[in-house]
Amino acid sequence: SKEHVQNVKVYYEELARHIGKVILEFTRSSYGVISLPEAYRLYNRSRFKEAVPPQDFVHACVIFDRVGMPLRVGCTHPHSNNRVIFSVDDSTKAIRDRIMSCIPDACEGISRVAVALRAHVPVAVARYYLEEAEFQGLLARDDGPRGLFYYKNVFHQYVI
């Protein structure tokens, strides 16, 4: 525990390593992404001791890169508070490519549910990867009368 170490930095680094080892296995079985509350629940259930305080858990997760864990904490969208832990290893690239291949080249667009069905992933996972692709400028979306639809981004082709 934090009370038993001289250096708090060491405590958080060791905690990040422990969390990372547990959560990495879960992200591999959940298409590379897991919500922060779910990760907290899974980690604490895996322990045989008292639960780690939420603020310590979050602080340790933020330093995954410092301790060499292939995990990152982020949001499902830049304007969202839905925090997730996502894997940054090669397995997520295959999932991202599979989801992007579901976006038609034509101008009709596609919904999250249709992408999830085509890619054989849960809707929440499709949503995460679609929003990531939108943030990276690969996709555009239209939230119109038919609902929310994603399109391949063609705006970069036009120079004004």
Q: Write out pLDDT tens, residues 136-154.
A: 888 999 998 889 999 998 8
pLDDT (average), residues 110-124: 91
- Encoded tokens for 73: 């904490």
How large is the average pLDDT for residues 3-10?
75
Most confident of 2-6, 29-33, 109-113: 109-113
49/56: higher pLDDT: 56
pLDDT of 77 strictly over 70? no
The mean pLDDT value of the chain amounts to: 85
Q: Is 2 helix (H, G, I), strand (E, B) or coil?
A: helix
Contact in structure between 148 and 131 (CB atoms under 8 Å): no
Q: Which two tokens stand for residue 30?
A: 């959940």
Confidence category of residue 132, pLDDT binned at 50, 70, 90? confident
Q: For residue 62, what are the contacts with CB-CB under 8 A and spacing of at least 6?
A: 73
